[in-house]
Chain A
Amino acid sequence: MSLREIHLTVNGEARTATVENRLLLVHCIRENLGLTGTHVGCETSHCGACTIHVEGTPVKSCTMFAVQADGKSITTVEGLAGPDGISPVQEGFWEEHGLQCGFCTPGMMMTATALVRVEEEPSEAEIREAISGNLCRCTGYVNIVRAIQFAHRKIHSPAPVPVMAHEGGE
């Protein structure tokens, strides 16, 4: 078993970990770095629960070895909220009931966070395509789409976000 020391920036903080070469990045994040918000749903890159950002880009962290992240900057769900509180994506998921059991939610929000950076509001079909690497078994995705739309408007529209009507909620 060969061990290696890696240095990475995690949610803006310099961190060091001593890892086996074969250690998956997701296990490094959860076990070595103690950040359990990133979840494991399959270990085979299908479910997307382990999605994080590596240098700002969404990556399924079970597809990378920890040593491949050496020297890189990563962001996990724990890094989404800022000094002013939760991020627009987090707020959107809360406001629009975009989560139920919460297990896929961190990965889903990391994918969504990258998506809402684009200035032009994505269509529903584009949102659905963008999150198609993240499986959710609870929500049926409708409210996740609404959550992402909420976040996009909050970030890119200067006007106050209108409260969306819910079909089942009159």
Chain B
Amino acid sequence: MVTTRTTPEVGGMGHSPRRKEDPRFIQGKGNYIEDIKLPGMLWMDIVRSPYAHARIVSIDASKALAIPGVLAVITGKDLEKYGLHWMPTLMSDTQMVLPTDTVKYQAQEVCAVIATERYIAADAIQAVEVEYEELPVVVDPFKAMEPGATLVRPDKGKDTNHIWHWEVGDPDATDAILKASDLVVKQDVYIPRIHVASIETCGCVASFDKVEGKLTVWMTTQAPHAIRTVLALVAGHVGLSEERIRVISPDIGGGFGGKVPVYPGYVIAIAASVLIGKPVKWIEDRMENLQADSFARDYHTTAELGVNRDGTLTALRVKTLADHGYADSAANPSKFPAGLYHICTGSYDLKGAHVEVDGVYTNKPPGGVAYRCSFRVTEAVHTIERMVDIAAHEIGMDPAALRMKNFIEEDQFPYKSVLGWEYDSGNYHAALRKAMDIIGYEDLRKEQLEKRAKGELMGIGISSFTEIVGAGPSRDFDILGIKMFDSAEIRVHPTGKAIARFGTKSQGQGHETTYAQIVAEELGIPMSQVQVEEGDTDTAPYGLGTYASRSTPTAGAAAAMAARKIRDKARKIAAYLLEADEEDLEWEPGKFSVRGNPDAVKTIQEIAFAAYTNHPQGMEAGLEATHYYDPPNLTYPFGSYICVVDIDKGTGQVTIRRFVAIDDCGNIINPKIVEGQVHGGLTMGLAPSLYEEISYDEAGNCLGGSFVDYLVPTAVESPHWETGHTITPSPHHPIGAKGVGESPTVGAPPAIANAVVDALWHLGVRHIDIPMTPARVWKVLRDHGVEG
């Protein structure tokens, strides 16, 4: 039950006011990257490689340059003169801005055209003649690891495509526990490449003012401040120092992690603007977006889970090959190469675990960005939740009962996992029980038996996930050395209204509303009177941006802490105005009163006015505060999802009949927004479970490079999600919140996959990799003797 401490007019935590940002969006007045138009602005378009691996023999731009309106064709050789042809990735690997000799994946940038108009630029990229010499291609990461495999990155000076090896946990102890277990279930699980495919593609407008020497870049970025620093580090040697770079992230049409990296297009547009001295606009088209931007997932895993006959889970061993394409460009600001993957012991009290991950290069686009999840958490949760289900089926125990038996108990929190995480709070039994009650679990199991007797295929799948979000504590998290705090700056105006600025950047999450609600909760100023701004590095305090469900855990906490600093000062002013001791004042949202004298009251509005007109002598005027919040721990949202599927024996089509999602994200700021986040996240969990995959043929051709074959779910494929929640506050977060945007993306796939396998287990099916397309399920049915 969500409780409130403020009136609906104030609109603090627990209220669901209409969103403050919506009036502009519903009236076509949003300001997205493509809406930015500057005088004299030029257009950039990019020539891309048709081959996955090739040497560039020559680039002949003469025909393109002959087209009226074409101003320049920029190649890697041009950028090389300025040392800008390579750039670092967020994982301190390197990737090309433009190639000087070879291309490493299909759709890689080869050169860029600058023209006066969009259509002229599009004509010109067709007129650039590039001669290639094809080179051997390695697509399969296992083949890439074989001795003598084609080297993807000879520039690394190593005779292998192996990037890194990372492991965590005690291998010997884990092995001993597994050997002592009644049974060890073993399974290969592949989590395929997918793409966030936000409806707005990526782009930028770079505008270099030659007179001022100042660069302003409007760009689709989830992390404008970090980008500014990266630009200063990358281009400092050509005169772009950080005080002369302004990054503005305008309204963003969906991010989901895909707008965290620095893509070559941004850098080329910036370089072009600096060289030409005019604004340059670059907007990806959809196929460029799907084929060339960084990808998520691509984890090939072998997992072993020990289980005793009584249902006790014992230990987990995981070995994973991580396909990073031609560069490790993981958007992963942790010190762990595989991100938070070692959350893979999940919601269970395992006594041993050992995880090994090896990164490998292949001739594919850079891999390792998020898909609405924190740094490999989806991969981890899918693995453990699939393994737990397999274990339950193997020993003939109900999957819900097995989970209940092995959950970390409520009184074990804070819980130290065997792989080193400290889970802040949880009540896993309550969430699963609630989901089972809502969906009618016992009745569904009876129905399933009846259906099975009639030869019909129905399955019930559970996922009881533990998320790990809110990156992160500075001891473990940084981007190129910058710690992962986030910030809030609040200024209360003389009339008692306020402006609040943040280092994060909403891409649809509703920060203008929820941050205002946090300020309203802490200061009692109505949320309608709190203006929220983000995304402009010239005005907002420094922060690391929005991804990894970190906005509420970090900047949301900063908002509360900054507001409390303001309240501390307001108390001093109130004491002065009321001629009372500070200790005798009592706070309730919006006012201080003198204990025992309820008529002696000063509202926050009166105090704000006094802060500028009648403040105590010796005190600084004004009422404002800034806070940089370095979280003491991550937060651990959790939930239990139950999915019911029916499978068509004739076509292999999986239909989701019902899906109940119980989420626990701690204290809730805005219930309606949380519900909306869960709906959207569930749909992005459904997508890779049944539909989406980016695969490649042996020549490295991208299969899935347009919306014709990359199947983003429509309203017809998406079920009517049924949602609910339990509330277990985070003990270390100032407002007890945990973050929610990614939980459903993480939690949904194994619920769906487990339901499909549950429907087919009696036929001898143990596992099916996602996406469980009709064709894939149809083949499994036929292989197991099921006829339509």
Q: Find the B residue at minimum CB distance from A106.
A: B28
> In the bound complex, do residue A99 and residue B22 qualify as a contact, i.e. CB atoms below 8 Å apart?
yes
Asked if A36 meets B35 with Cβ closer than 8 Å, knowing A140-B680, A168-B725, the reply is: yes
Residue A46 interfacial (CB < 8 Å) = yes
Which residues of chain B (699-733) have a CB below 8 Å from chain A?
706-708, 712, 714-716, 718, 720-725
> In the bound complex, do residue A97 and residue B19 qualify as a contact, i.e. CB atoms below 8 Å apart?
yes
Binds B, one of A2-10, A53-61, A86-94, A153-161: A86-94
Smallest CB separation, B725 vs chain A (Å): 6
> In the bound complex, do residue B508 and residue A101 qualify as a contact, i.e. CB atoms below 8 Å apart?
yes
List of B residues within 8 angstroms of A99 by Cβ: 22, 25-26, 508
> In the bound complex, do residue B254 and residue A129 qualify as a contact, i.e. CB atoms below 8 Å apart?
no
List of B residues within 8 angstroms of A42 by Cβ: 285-286, 706-707
- From A46, A136, A140, name the one whose CB has the most chain B CB atoms within 10 angstroms: A140
List of A residues within 8 angstroms of B23 by Cβ: 94
Residue A167 interfacial (CB < 8 Å) = yes
List of B residues within 8 angstroms of A167 by Cβ: 675, 722-724
Which residues of chain A (1-45) have a CB below 8 Å from chain B?
20, 22-23, 27, 30-31, 35-44
> In the bound complex, do residue A144 and residue B715 qualify as a contact, i.e. CB atoms below 8 Å apart?
yes
Q: Find the B residue at minimum CB distance from A130.
A: B715
List of A residues within 8 angstroms of B254 by Cβ: 100-101, 103, 137-138
Give a binary string over B21-46; 1 marks a CB under 8 Å from any A CB, 0 the rest. 11111111110101100000000000
> In the bound complex, do residue A128 and residue B679 qualify as a contact, i.e. CB atoms below 8 Å apart?
no
Which residues of chain B (222-252) have a CB below 8 Å from chain A?
251-252
> In the bound complex, do residue A102 and residue B671 qualify as a contact, i.e. CB atoms below 8 Å apart?
no
Residue A68 interfacial (CB < 8 Å) = no
Residue B271 interfacial (CB < 8 Å) = no
Give a binary string over A106-138; 1 marks a CB under 8 Å from any B CB, 0 the rest. 100100000000000000100111011111111
Residue B211 interfacial (CB < 8 Å) = no
Instruction: Tell me the bound Cα distance from A103 to B33 in angstroms.
Output: 11
Smallest CB separation, A9 vs chain B (Å): 17
> In the bound complex, do residue B253 and residue A145 qualify as a contact, i.e. CB atoms below 8 Å apart?
no
> In the bound complex, do residue A103 and residue B724 qualify as a contact, i.e. CB atoms below 8 Å apart?
no
Asked if A103 meets B32 with Cβ closer than 8 Å, knowing A39-B253, A78-B27, A137-B684, the reply is: yes
Q: Find the B residue at minimum CB distance from A142.
A: B679
Residue B401 interfacial (CB < 8 Å) = no
> In the bound complex, do residue B22 and residue A37 qualify as a contact, i.e. CB atoms below 8 Å apart?
no
Asked if A101 meets B199 with Cβ closer than 8 Å, knowing A41-B286, A42-B286, A109-B26, the reply is: yes
- From B16, B26, B681, B706, name the one whose CB has the most chain A CB atoms within 10 angstroms: B26
Q: A170 is contacted by which of B119, B200, B671, B684 (Cβ under 8 Å)? A: B671
> In the bound complex, do residue A168 and residue B680 qualify as a contact, i.e. CB atoms below 8 Å apart?
no
> In the bound complex, do residue A102 and residue B25 qualify as a contact, i.e. CB atoms below 8 Å apart?
yes
Query: How many of B's residues come within 8 Å of A, CB to CB?
Result: 65
Asked if A137 meets B680 with Cβ closer than 8 Å, knowing A44-B707, A104-B199, the reply is: yes
Instruction: Tell me the bound Cα distance from A97 to B514 in angstroms.
Output: 13
Q: Find the B residue at minimum CB distance from A102.
A: B25
> In the bound complex, do residue B253 and residue A30 qualify as a contact, i.e. CB atoms below 8 Å apart?
no
Q: B680 is contacted by which of A100, A103, A105 (Cβ under 8 Å)? A: A100
Instruction: Tell me the bound Cα distance from A42 to B255 in angstroms.
Output: 16
Instruction: Tell me the bound Cα distance from A166 to B761 in angstroms.
Output: 36
Q: Find the A residue at minimum CB distance from B717.
A: A132
Instruction: Tell me the bound Cα distance from A143 to B679 in angstroms.
Output: 8
List of A residues within 8 angstroms of B173 by Cβ: none
Smallest CB separation, B745 vs chain A (Å): 11
Q: Find the A residue at minimum CB distance from B675.
A: A168
Instruction: Tell me the bound Cα distance from A76 to B29 in angstroms.
Output: 12
List of A residues within 8 angstroms of B253 by Cβ: 39, 41, 101-104
List of B residues within 8 angstroms of A127 by Cβ: 715
List of A residues within 8 angstroms of B332 by Cβ: none
11 CB-based A-B contacts, threshold 8 Å: A36-B32, A42-B707, A46-B708, A47-B707, A94-B19, A103-B199, A128-B714, A129-B716, A137-B196, A137-B199, A166-B672
**Knowing that A41-B199, A103-B199, A132-B714 are A-B contacts, what are 5 other residue pairs whose CB atoms are under 8 Å apart, sorted by A's residue number?**
A41-B253, A94-B18, A97-B673, A99-B22, A142-B720
